[in-house]
Amino acid sequence: MQPADQNNSSAKSEDFLKETHAILERIKTQPHYRASAEEIEILLRSEQSESTRKFAILSLFKADRFAEAIPFAWDFANRELTEENLKNLWVILLRVKDRDGLLKVAAKAEGIVAPIDYHSLMTSTYTCLHRFDEAIRHGDLCLQARDEKFAGGSSVPDALILPKFNRNAVSRNVISYSVFDSDERYLKGAENNSIAARYVYPA
């Protein structure tokens, strides 16, 4: 016959596993589900599998708890140097603007992360570091890598057609930009485009 405290411990362990499984199911089946602080702590304490801890990191990311996710993301990247782990870590480091960490992950990622993503993340990294010449260089390399990957996928017009400035209906002369969040990389590009617009669309 098992002691009462051992039975209680076993029951608690079983309840914990059920609760962990229920949280994971909610995250897996509901892409926009945001785990509560209590649910995240349960996932972090779980010893079921590495995938469970990856979902914990994802939940920390969704909760804007980026700094807490960094040690776990580094641990995954150091133990298993895969493209997925490096990109996950890289994105988190960009969110907290960890300049030293960004340079470290960039050094590890070369040759592992695919060229398009690598140069895209390098562009964001050097923008974060305010090393704009290098950011532009990697931006160009990212575009080149895209052109190579999707060559022949779409036709490019022979000549750029610029509509004339409409002086009779000034409100129709609109240049619009879609900017992703407040990432300095995109804001800087939008600023440069607004300057170039004066030359492309003289009026």
Domain hosting residue 48, numbered range: 20-64
Residues 102 and 141 in one domain: yes
Long-range contacts of 142-147 (CB under 8 A, 24+ apart): 142/115, 142/116, 145/115, 145/116, 145/119, 146/116
Q: Is 61 exposed, middle or buried (0-12, 13-18, 19+ CB in 10 A)?
A: middle
Does residue 33 sit within a domain? yes
Residues 99 and 189 in one domain: yes
The model's pTM is 0.67
Q: Helices H, strands E: what count in the chain?
A: 9, 0
Q: Say whether 11 sits in a helix, a strand or coil.
A: helix
pLDDT in tens, 90-129: 999 999 999 999 999 999 999 999 999 999 999 999 999 9
Residues 89 and 123 in one domain: yes
Positive or negative torsion for Cα 157, 159, 160, 161: negative
pLDDT in tens, 47-102: 667 778 888 888 998 888 999 999 989 988 998 899 999 999 999 999 999 999 99
